[in-house]
Amino acid sequence: MLNNVRKLIPLLSIMIILVLSSCSNTKRYVHRKSKKTRVERTTATKYRTNKKRGRRETVATLSSKRYSIVQTAKKYLGKPYNYGGKKPNSGFDCSGFTSYVYAENGIQVKGASYHQAKLGVKKSMKDLKEGDLVFFGSKRKVSHVGIVAEADKGNIAVIHSTSSRGVVIDDITNSDYWRKKYLFGRDVIR
């Protein structure tokens, strides 16, 4: 009976991994007998061979900080725009929204959009990940900020507080308006 249970454990592990791997940005945990090792990754579940033990180890996935930031931001969809607004009950301006969402996730991002544009590490559009900040403007002058809600195969969707519609999600890759105004992204999560 014990041997049958031992045979089922890898199968159950694989099933759990498949269920959890639906998140696109994840952290992985390598499970060993008495130890857990966390490693940042952006792809789904994998297997790897432990050379010392000569066997395959399964790698389980859990939600990352990026996922948490996007989920927090989505809670405020539909909140109205308010110039200088930094709280949900009064509404948000663009930088107030990003500051509030990041603060709820333990990351301090303060100031206007042009101040936030100096934080973290600069990224091109093709390198953006969920949770990164994206900046818009003209002639290199930053005038708007949002959070990447989805980055999939070159398509970027941003959640942001717009002056005309409040907190919304826009596909900036297929929008003539936002694509023309896009300047760069910043990773402040690292």
DSSP 121-187: EEE-GGG--TT-EEEEEETTEEEEEEEEEEEETTEEEEEEEETTTEEEEEESTT-HHHHHHEEEEEE
**Nearest alpha-carbon partner for 26 in 56, 68, 57, 58:** 68
75 and 148 share one domain: yes
- Residue numbers annotated as active site: 94, 144, 160
C-alpha Rg value of the chain to the nearest Å: 20
pLDDT (0 to 100) of residue 152: 86
Domain check: are 43 and 125 in the same one? no
**Position 45, amino acid:** T
Looking at the structure, do residues 46 and 84 belong to the same domain, yes or no? no
Residue 151 belongs to what domain range? 66-187
Amino acid (1-letter code) at residue 62: L
pLDDT at 154: 81
Same domain, 57 and 12: yes
Q: Give the count of domains, the chain.
A: 2
Q: Which helix (H) or strand (E) holds 60?
A: strand 55-63
Residues 81 and 56 in one domain: no
Reading the chain (190 residues) residue by residue, the pLDDT tens digits are 656 656 666 655 565 554 444 443 433 333 333 333 333 333 333 344 445 555 544 333 334 899 999 999 999 999 999 999 999 999 999 999 999 999 999 999 989 999 999 999 999 899 999 999 999 999 889 999 999 999 988 899 999 999 999 999 999 999 999 999 999 999 998 7
> Is 78 found in the same domain as 48?
no
